[in-house]
Structure 1
Amino acid sequence: MAKCLYCAAVGETEEHVIPAAFGEFRSAPKLPIPLCPKCNNERLNHLDQQVSRCGPEGFMRESYGIKGRAHKTKVNPFARGSAGGSRLEFSTFDREVGVEVHLEVVDGVVTQMCELILVETSMGRAHHFPLSETTTADELRGAIARKNVPAPYDVRLSCHPHEQEWVEKLLREHSPGIVFSEPKLMSHIIKTPEVKFQLSERYFRGIAKIGFHYFLSQFQAYSGHHSMFSGIRSFISEDTNEPVRRVNDFIQHRNHPLVYQMLNDEARPDGWKAHILAAEVKPGLCQAHVQIFLTQENPNLIYTVKLAHDRSLVEQEVAAHAYRYFHDGKQGSFSGEASPLPAIRVDQAFPPATPAVSA
């Protein structure tokens, strides 16, 4: 019976290389080494949640309307964070409300969020509290207490008319006797909205996991259990108190494009969207490259994941796949198809990589 890649338990579950939250891809490579249920469903699932909800990829996933597995509980990443990560903060100043308001993307359409806004009278600083039909008065009370908003402050409500009934019921439970004025809607003129991400160590470990699992799916002669991979296994599976140092030990930004180096011109974006994964073995080094959501409009960041250093490595091998979404939406259970790409060039005549995070 196979041992789990990350612990001493028996491996029982099969793992996709790309998190299921980004959809299922026909002919997609799979990790050849099984994982135990605890690692797959708990420890590593926390990493997948942060990549698919808390980072730029989470924003693009919502913008493109990408759906994960149907049985998973839907989480609005603009309303709350996941697995210890922060929520997406998408905002703009709105002249009708007279303060910064938060936005969300619903089925690919940008709209205002339903939220309570407390505005400090002295400083004018706004504090935002997203509301949903499942929010309880105690949860709202706790969220406001944690923010410790200094009094006095103005209270403003931003919501759509169809949300007003349940919002007012929630606020009466929170503050009996409250008197409501008409909630203000946005002016429908969105000027230079900004989206903010707070990328935690778990996010980067999730990127590393994708790269490591793709490498193992392509070069099965290299056992993930081998001692030269002990560092990357530990980085992926263990929390740490030194997040910046550890992230930069294993992950860098690649400063030249992956797709541009493909030998096949058809690999370049032309109205399609895809994830690009690549892996390589070269003298002394194993590494992978991860680019989530490459599109014609958005050349998203490319991460290079250092997997192993070993002087005995003398061969040079490369592999790459494009996980391309179907133009017309899902085909059965599949969101797209994974297909091999011609080998990436691995020569050194390019700008050097840079650290993934700054201290």
Structure 2
Amino acid sequence: MKNNMKLIIICIFLFTFIFSCKKLKNPTVPEIDVNNIYTNTCTATATNGGVNTASQTPTITITLSETDTATKTPVTQQTFTNTPELTPTSTFTITPTQTMTIQAMTFIATQTASSTVSLTATATVTATVTMTATIQLIGKMVFVSQRDGNEEIYTMNSDGSNQTRLTNNTAKDMFPELSYDGSRILYTSNLDGDYEIYSMNYDGSDVQKLTDNTFVDGYASFSPDGTRIVFLSNREGDDDLYIMNADGSSQTRITEIHTYVIHPDWSPDGSKIVFESMILSYTTYSQIYVINVDGTGLTKLSNVEYAEGHPSWSPDGSKIAYFSNFGGSLEIWIMNSDGSGHIKLTSNGGKNIYPVWSPDGSKIAFYSDKDGNQGIYLMNTDGSGQIRITSGLVSDISVSWR
């Protein structure tokens, strides 16, 4: 009986022990220092033949590893500091394209006691603007090019496209001038051995020789109505200006300056002619003059100790574009038609000459060698927006625009 009681008591203790161990396998630990290891010691002592004392202390080893849960919350701040507002002129249409480039992204990590990582991302964004200039077509252009080895006449659109050769010979074909309606071209050529004045259609057809003598005739320009032509001739021994009909008849001398006279240009109202006259002396320089078409009212518009020339009337007759070497280089200037209000438009250095106005008065075309090549450029009437419209290692000069 006693043995049975002992057996029952032992079974009860074993059952209690096993039940206690199961509960200790997954203890509920609200907060545990991850750096400490808890060790519980269990001791059991059994005494036969007396009072049995059992003290059971289970040994439990708990090892916890820290797992940080990092919440990364990038915060991107994009700042556009370059939002260009472009106002194109009537000739140029500016199309901006914007490219964003993220230069750097910096993460700042902050760890708190609760093992929460906060990341703040700061993005630096720059805007790159690419401007594409589209030139609006205005009128027609004719110019001289030496791309085949000698001077020939070409036409093109005002954006430099559709360049078409009109003359093809071994002579020098120079100083082309368009009629106001753009249908005819005057030019100077030494095709027959001396310089004479010719005319042709804008497409190069119907070539007519307007002067025929042994002297030098050239630098011809149409009147606004296309019925008359002003030109240079030295047939009287001196370089002076003459006027003739559009077919070459009725050639009449209108100046007796007895100096080198070049680049005449008819005023838009048909009443005056502006021209360049070079005084041949120890200090050689040219000046700008204006005269009535009947030869009266000769007026000197420039009175300076440096060269000025290649005058060109604006379409409304209020301004004259010209070159001047004031400051040491040939640059493009404009002035009022009475000779006042001189304004410098270019500061390119080198040679900037042959200015002509667009038909609407919004642009000026000119010859320049500023990039090492002799080409034709366009600019706004304040000198801004200079763009080359002929390209290549060739000499493109003497442009006319109607």
TM-score by length of 1: 0.25
TM-score by length of 2: 0.23
Looking at both structures, which has the greater relative contact order when contacts are Cα pairs under 8 Å and sequence separation is at least 6? 1
